[in-house]
Amino acid sequence: MGEYHVASSVEEALEKLSRCEGRAEIVAGGQTMMLLIRQGLVDPDLLVDISKITEIRGIEDVGEYIEIGSATTYAEIKESPLIEKEFGFYTMATSEISGPQVRNQGTIGGGLVYGDPALDTPPVLLTLDAELEIQNAQGSRRILLEDFFVDYYETAIEEGEILTKIIIPKLPKHSGGKYRAMTPRQGDYAIAGVCVRLTLDENGICIVARVGLTNGGDTPMRSKGAEKVLEGTKIEEETIENAVEILGKNLDLIGDIQTPKSYKEIVFKRIARQTIKDVKLELMSDA
């Protein structure tokens, strides 16, 4: 019978992991781990539960950054006035995750380490240029979220490491964003999702564009092609069309019988076009 260990500190969890001779896994809310166990994809001898570790829970304003502990639940993020004030579109996207039950248990860190390209919020965090702090026996290291996603369900986290913190730089003024997804029904996985974050200068010229995609490829990803087209422009109608075309080329889709690739591409382009327009409009009306 496997062992279940509820850790009370990161140090203790790391030590427990290092002493395990069989296969050890980390669990936080359990919302993905239980699926993996049930599907037979994971068969652990030890589960180390990090959800009760207070040092990796909670949301903190540290000046230039907002730091979110990896074991913070989606419900806590959704209800956080701090997150809503700084990144309202991240709050909106979080409130679309599954339903309240899953948000009460599921954690930001669990969703990231899972590496599933179908999740709604990792692409939002990509548009925010988030960084991660990872602890191991030697100490801690930092990695850009963008470099964290390696392949289908594969991330840069190594055995014996724990994701501890998500660090999000506060946005410069004249910034705004929006996440839009097409789902078969509320709370379901998205067929396609696009997050757009724009930062304009005083003259309305786009100085930073970020376009994150849900289910656009093997990992949560950015369309750097579309970003490049948008940056340095006033985001006119024609620029948006060019950005959307390139976004279509950046996709690496897997088709299925209900939603073939050609259809998904149309959905992505349509969502992207509308989302870029919405963010631009929001920023114009703020100016």
Partner 1 sequence: MEGIRLEINGKGHVVDVSPYKPLRDVLRYDIGLTGTKESCDSGVCGVCTVLLGDKAVKSCLIPVGKMVGEKITTIEGLAEEGEFSVLQQSFIDCFASQCGYCIPGFIMAATSLLIENPDPTIQEIREGLSGNLCRCTGYVKIIDAVRHAAGKEA
Site string for partner 1, 67-86 (x = CB under 8 A): --------x-----------
Other CB atoms closer than 10 Å to residue 121's CB: what's the count? 23
Task: Write out the binding residues for partner 1, residues 9-38 only, by CB under 8 A.
Answer: 27, 30-31, 33-35, 37-38
Which residue of 22, 58, 99, 232 would you call a contact of partner 1, by CB under 8 A? 99
**In this structure, what DSSP letter does residue 107 have?**
B
* Cα angle value 3/161/35 (rounded, 5°): 50
Query: Of the listed pieces 44-52, 190-198, 241-249, 276-284, which binds partner 1 according to CB under 8 A?
Result: 44-52
Confirm or reject binding of residue 118 to partner 1 (CB under 8 A): no
Other CB atoms closer than 10 Å to residue 87's CB: what's the count? 26
Q: Are 106 and 149 in contact (CB under 8 A)?
A: no
Query: Of the listed pieces 119-127, 186-194, 208-216, 261-269, which binds partner 1 according to CB under 8 A?
Result: 186-194
Query: Of the listed pieces 163-171, 184-192, 212-220, 239-247, which binds partner 1 according to CB under 8 A?
Result: 184-192
H or E stretch covering 17:
helix 10-19
Q: How far apart are CA 53 and CA 122, in angstroms?
A: 23
With contacts defined by CB under 8 A, how many residues of the chain interact with partner 1?
A: 29
**In this structure, what DSSP letter does residue 103 have?**
H
Q: How far apart are CA 200 and CA 185, in angstroms?
A: 34
Which residues lie near partner 1 (CB under 8 A)?
1-4, 6, 27, 30-31, 33-35, 37-38, 44, 47, 49, 51, 75, 95, 98-102, 104-105, 186-188
